[in-house]
Amino acid sequence: MSAFYTLAIFLIASADWAVIGACLALAVAVVLFIFYIQPDASDLAPHRTKLDQLLEKRDTIYDNLRDLRFEYRSGKYSEGDFEAMKMALENEAALVLAEIDQVTDAQVRRPRGTRPADGSAR
């Protein structure tokens, strides 16, 4: 009978060590996750809509036009180079503005069959 008790105590002790080992392994995994695994930068960046991207592009083109005019006035570019670059930037701006119009028209367009708010179309 004493061999049975010895075996039972040994099994209980080894089960305790297994639980302690599992807890230590979990603690190590948590520490590694917290201190060594860095999140991807794209996960932290806010997601921008198509309209946000177009507005930013428009602003960049306007800034480039303003800088181009300043540099032309300071004598950095000849008149021919200035006109060529200005036309390229203005054409790009026109394309971006057209895209902005398309995006904003798609957002404000009402579905067909809706009635006006005043109720006059009865």
Q: DSSP character for 102?
A: H
Kindly indicate the confidence band of residue 122, based on its pLDDT and cuts at 50, 70 and 90.
very low
Burial of 96 (0-12, 13-18, 19+ CB in 10 A): buried
d(CA 67, CA 73): 10
CB 55 within 8 A of CB 100: yes
Tell me what the pLDDT averaged over the chain comes to. Answer: 81
Which residue's structure tokens are 């809509």?
49
pLDDT digits (tens, 9 = 90+) for 16-27: 767 777 878 998
- Residue 9's alpha-carbon distances to 21, 23, 42, 121, in angstroms, are 18, 21, 54, 89
In angstroms, the CA 17 to CA 27 distance is: 15
Residue 83 has pLDDT above 70, yes or no: yes
- pLDDT digit string, tens, across residues 24-66: 899 899 888 888 887 776 666 677 889 999 999 999 999 999 9
Question: What is the identity of the amino acid at 10?
Answer: F
Nearest to 95 by CA among 58, 69, 68: 58
